[in-house]
Chains A and B, each alone.
Chain A
Amino acid sequence: GQQVMQIPQYQHVQEGEDFTTYCNSSTTLSNIQWYKQRPGGHPVFLIQLVKSGEVKKQKRLTFQFGEAKKNSSLHITATQTTDVGTYFCAGPPNDYKLSFGAGTTVTVRA
């Protein structure tokens, strides 16, 4: 079945620095979705990418979908303490359920 892998598993970032987290699927995805889960919270939808090579920005967050639609990345610039949490990518193996990666857990050093 489809597997979604995320790297790195943990990201320790100095406040103000940039970082990127990567998501790779074993199969081609129709779309990819990104979620953020704060400590003790639940996954919150961030964005969905559908088109090959698509790039979307949300303030300091830049999301990219690979040309082959098998990988994606999330780049955060000028990291802030509010960016702390676990970022999940998820792809649908069919038209409804989502297959989630294990997430990248981000901690920020002030």
Chain B
Amino acid sequence: DTGVSQDPRHKITKRGQNVTFRCDPISEHNRLYWYRQTLGQGPEFLTYFQNEAQLEKSRLLSDRFSAERPKGSFSTLEIQRTEQGDSAMYLCASSSPDTQYFGPGTRLTVL
């Protein structure tokens, strides 16, 4: 499979716990994006990497959120001290340069 992959596909956690998601982009894509999608809404931009550099973070990304892309390959998104409001689908996309291809997403449920 040469598409964008994300792991895990589903995550259920208790409020206050930390969670980490992984995204593996299409191999030749140097741009990687994280979005969050809630029910009935379109994806909302969270952050963007060009190679290993994180070039923009949305105001939606509070201090509890951190993203990394070491070596410009896969990326991780960590949420610390999860809150019920963090429950959503977290989507990763990659592009080279413009058209963004989305992964299957990680559905997070915070109890």
Residues of A within 8 A of B (CB): 4, 31, 33, 35, 41-45, 48, 88, 90, 96-103
Contacts and interface: CB of A to CB of B under 8 A. Distances in A.
A98 B100 contact: yes
Given A42-B104, A48-B99, A98-B100, A103 B56 contact: no
Contacts of B50: 96
A48 B42 CA distance: 17
Q: Which of B31, B33, B99, B100 has the most CB of A within 10 A?
A: B100
B42 A33 contact: no
Interface of B: 31, 33, 40-45, 48, 50, 55-56, 91, 95, 98-105
Chain B interface, >50% SS class: strand
Contacts of B40: 102
A96 B91 contact: no
A100 B42 contact: yes
A45 B56 contact: no
A3 B59 CA distance: 16
14 contacts: A31-B98, A42-B91, A42-B104, A43-B43, A43-B91, A44-B102, A90-B42, A96-B31, A96-B95, A97-B33, A97-B45, A97-B56, A98-B43, A103-B41
Contacts of B43: 43, 88, 98, 100
Nearest to B46: A97
B91 A99 contact: no
Q: Which of A41, A45, A97 has the most CB of B within 10 A?
A: A97
A100 B33 CA distance: 14
A82 B44 CA distance: 26
Nearest to B89: A42
